[in-house]
Amino acid sequence: MKIFTRYLKQDRARAILAPLFKMLEAAFELLIPLVMAGIINRGIGGGDRGYILRMGLLMIALGLIGLTCSVTAQFFSAKCAMRFGANLRRDLFSHIETLSYTEIDRLGSATLITRMTGDVNQMQTGVNLFLRLFMRSPFIVLGATFMAWQVDHRAGRVFLIALPILTVIVFTIMFVSIPLYKDVQGHTDRVLQKTRENLAGSRVIRAFGQEEREKEEFARETEVLTKRQLFVGRITSLLNPMTYVVINLSIAVIIWVGGKQVDLGILKQGEVYALVNYMSQILVELVKLANLIITETKAIACGKRVADVLSVTSSQQFPDEERGDLTPSDDAPAIEFNHVTFSYSGSGAPAIEDVSFRVERGETLGIIGGTGSGKSTLVNLIPRFYDATEGEILVEGIPVASYPKKKLRDMVGVVPQKAVLFAGSIAENLRLGNSEATDEELREALSVAQSDGFVSEKEGGLSYHLVQGAKNLSGGQKQRLTIARALVKKPKILILDDSSSALDYATDAALRVALREKLQDMTVVVVSQRTASIMHADKILVLDDGSPVGFGDHASLLSDCEVYREIYASQNQGEEVDAREAGK
């Protein structure tokens, strides 16, 4: 947990003032039983009404001062905790942004979301209560014991016996429950993941009539989480009754011992009242301390989980952004793969194996193959979302590992399979790739992406507001906007990863024509399962189960590549593909 102390140091003044004012409040609270004892012994016992009035006003003053100190401490602790949470959440998000796809795949989206939200919130609550109670409660417990000892040594021994017993109870339960709470948080991740899967795949689940199966699986996960929470809850619930038993037995002993002392004239009734009051204060504070420990136990478990994410380092290392010795050769191809093999982390077989090809600048490369053949995996290696396991990938004659991250990502524009748009205006979404783009540049990109028609029909045009996930657009409109967003970036290499699957054939054809005519200097990589989308490409790479089985233009592949021939025939109503078709 040392990693988090720096966040408290960033707000050191409030982190010190909050417990300080709480201790001042506690000091005034410890004086109340002595004042009350004086009222009983001298005021009530002696019939001195003036003394009762003066001591009553003193008690009101002590209460008001304590209230002021308490409110001040609450203010400082809340501000400190909020800043702690904000800084930690910001740094955690920034750290996650530095991780490669490999680490994000391994950790999982559900886990990272839980760390960013629930875990950080629990830690924030823990910091707030820590600053308010961690110093105050022990101070009152020890202070009440000391004050009771000053009142009467014999009665004070009861305090000295009760405190170790209470300490053992509290810390035993705390150490037992810490790993259990960590386990509960892990099961919370799984329930969250299951929830996200159901929400994201609700249409597929309904289409295949799997609602009941998903309900049963979710019920099983929830039941496991419930059982774990109940188990750890039963353990922590022992804190209050066990502490109450010890405290109440101690009060009974104090009354018994104090009563004898009063009969012998050693103690006065007010002093017995003070002793009972001090024991009651200890009871209240220990209950608070027990609840604090439960909260801190959860916060510590959450802190370890957040620390686990912060300790993960990216498997990718990029050169310094200021590197100036990168001088691409004018004769070098735009993209070159040399015997590239890639395996996902934890996977037994490679996703792609021994892939070699080259694409010249300004050419269009089509990549086709069956589902799971490694098409998306291959194109994700070009902007270095993943690192190749074997072989070398070059962009303009330079290995991708030699490029600084920003320079490489500026050179490559990627339109992923799933169209992702954010809440905001169309213009704001388009300017994600180039914040300085003018409205004219936006309209030019929309025209190439065949989006200018429907955008102009929307109310406000470029300022038309998209809801989260762009659910107020159709699938085809979303895909065309993501293509336009990539074009606004003006990359040297444009990757279209099956990003026209929702487009009709006419729009898809118009898009291909516009890309060829208006972006002649741009190298385009088109991933598709439709031969119509890539048949006019300068070069076509055919993948089958991660291995290249064909490379060339449409005509040569129809003649020489059986896999490509089968794909083409299946998409053209099974017509026979012969040499005459190949020559067209």
Q: Are residues 46 and 163 in the same domain?
A: yes
- 135-165 burial: b if 16+ Cβ within 10 Å, else e: bbbebbbebbbebbbebbeebbebbeebbee
Q: Are residues 542 and 402 in the same domain?
A: yes
Q: Under the phi-then-psi rule, with left for phi > 0, alpha for psi from -120 to 50, and beta for the rest, what region is 478? A: alpha
Q: Is residue 8 part of a domain?
A: yes
d(CA 77, CA 83) in angstroms, rounded, equals 10
**Segments forming the whole domain that contains residue 179:** 2-310
d(CA 464, CA 221) in angstroms, rounded, equals 42
Q: Are residues 411 and 277 in the same domain?
A: no
Tokens 């003044």, residue located: 13
Largest CA-CA distance found in the chain, in angstroms, rounded: 123
d(CA 388, CA 519) in angstroms, rounded, equals 29
Q: Are residues 379 and 267 in the same domain?
A: no
Q: Are residues 431 and 560 in the same domain?
A: yes
Give the H or E element holding residue 488. Answer: helix 475-488
Which CATH number belongs to the domain containing residue 108 in this structure? 1.20.1560.10
Helices 153-200, 269-310: inter-axial angle, 10-degree rounding: 30
Sheet holding 335-342, edge to edge: 352-359, 335-342, 390-395, 398-399
Which CATH number belongs to the domain containing residue 472 in this structure? 3.40.50.300
Q: Is residue 359 part of a domain?
A: yes
Q: Is residue 81 part of a domain?
A: yes
Q: Is residue 317 part of a domain?
A: no
Q: Are residues 268 and 354 in the same domain?
A: no
Q: Are residues 303 and 198 in the same domain?
A: yes
Q: Which is it for strands 493-497 and 335-342: parallel, antiparallel or unpaired?
A: unpaired
Locate all alpha helices (DSSP H) within 341-474, ordered by sequence: 375-380, 405-411, 426-430, 439-448, 452-457
Q: Is residue 190 part of a domain?
A: yes
Domain count, the chain: 2
**The two three-digit tokens of residue 169, written as one number:** 């109870």
Looking at residue 201, its pLDDT comes to: 84
Tens digit of pLDDT per residue, the chain (584 long)? 666 778 888 888 998 999 999 889 888 888 888 888 888 877 787 778 888 898 889 989 988 998 999 999 999 999 999 999 999 999 999 999 888 888 888 888 878 888 898 889 999 999 999 888 888 888 888 888 888 887 777 777 787 888 788 878 877 887 788 788 778 877 887 888 888 888 878 888 888 888 899 999 999 989 999 998 899 888 888 877 888 888 888 888 888 877 777 777 777 788 887 888 887 887 778 778 777 877 887 788 888 889 889 988 888 888 877 665 677 777 889 999 999 999 988 777 899 999 999 999 999 999 998 888 899 999 999 999 999 999 999 999 899 988 888 888 889 999 988 888 999 999 999 998 888 899 999 999 999 989 888 898 888 889 999 988 888 888 889 989 999 999 998 899 999 988 877 788 888 888 888 888 888 789 999 998 888 888 889 999 999 988 999 999 999 999 989 999 988 988 876 444 444 444 44
Alpha-carbon distances of 23 from 126, 127, 166, 168, rounded to whole Å: 18, 17, 21, 24
pLDDT tens-place string over residues 200-225: 788 888 888 888 999 999 999 899 99
Last residue of a domain, one of 310, 325, 351: 310
Q: Please, which residues have CB within 8 angstroms of residue 464's CB and are 6 or more apart in sequence? A: 425, 426, 455, 458
Looking at residue 238, its pLDDT comes to: 84
What is 106-134 written as a DSSP string? HH-HHHHHHIIIIIHHHHHHHHHHIIIII
Q: Are residues 177 and 254 in the same domain?
A: yes
What is 239-292 written as a DSSP string? HHHHHHHHHHHHHHHHHHHHHHHHHTTSS-HHHHHHHHHHHHHHHHHHHHHHHH
Q: Are residues 413 and 556 in the same domain?
A: yes
pLDDT tens-place string over residues 429-460: 999 888 889 999 999 999 998 988 889 888 88
Looking at residue 324, its pLDDT comes to: 57
* Terminal Cα distance for the chain, rounded: 69
Helices 269-310, 12-38: inter-axial angle, 10-degree rounding: 160
DSSP conformation class of 99: S
Tokens 């388009």, residue located: 430
d(CA 454, CA 524) in angstroms, rounded, equals 25
CB 560 within 8 A of CB 552: yes
Neighbours of 362 (CB within 10 A): 15
Q: Please, which residues have CB within 8 angstroms of residue 38's CB and are 6 or more apart in sequence? A: 51, 55, 270
d(CA 429, CA 280) in angstroms, rounded, equals 62
Alpha-carbon distances of 64 from 68, 70, 229, rounded to whole Å: 6, 10, 41
CB 74 within 8 A of CB 12: no
Q: Please, which residues have CB within 8 angstroms of residue 392's CB and are 6 or more apart in sequence? A: 337, 338, 339, 340, 399
Q: Are residues 265 and 358 in the same domain?
A: no
CB 543 within 8 A of CB 378: yes
Q: Are residues 453 and 563 in the same domain?
A: yes
Q: Is residue 327 part of a domain?
A: no
Looking at residue 325, its pLDDT comes to: 62
Alpha-carbon distances of 362 from 94, 357, 541, rounded to whole Å: 36, 15, 17
- 513-538 burial: b if 16+ Cβ within 10 Å, else e: eebbeebeebbbbbbbbbbebbbbbb
Q: Is residue 549 part of a domain?
A: yes
Looking at residue 3, its pLDDT comes to: 65
Q: Is residue 83 part of a domain?
A: yes
Q: Please, which residues have CB within 8 angstroms of residue 254's CB and are 6 or more apart in sequence? A: 155, 158, 272, 275, 276, 279
Position 445, amino acid: A
**The two three-digit tokens of residue 34, written as one number:** 């002595």
Last residue of a domain, one of 310, 325, 359: 310
Q: Are residues 305 and 340 in the same domain?
A: no
d(CA 481, CA 499) in angstroms, rounded, equals 10
Alpha-carbon distances of 28 from 33, 63, 140, 159, 317, rounded to whole Å: 10, 8, 10, 20, 58
Last residue of a domain, one of 310, 345, 374: 310
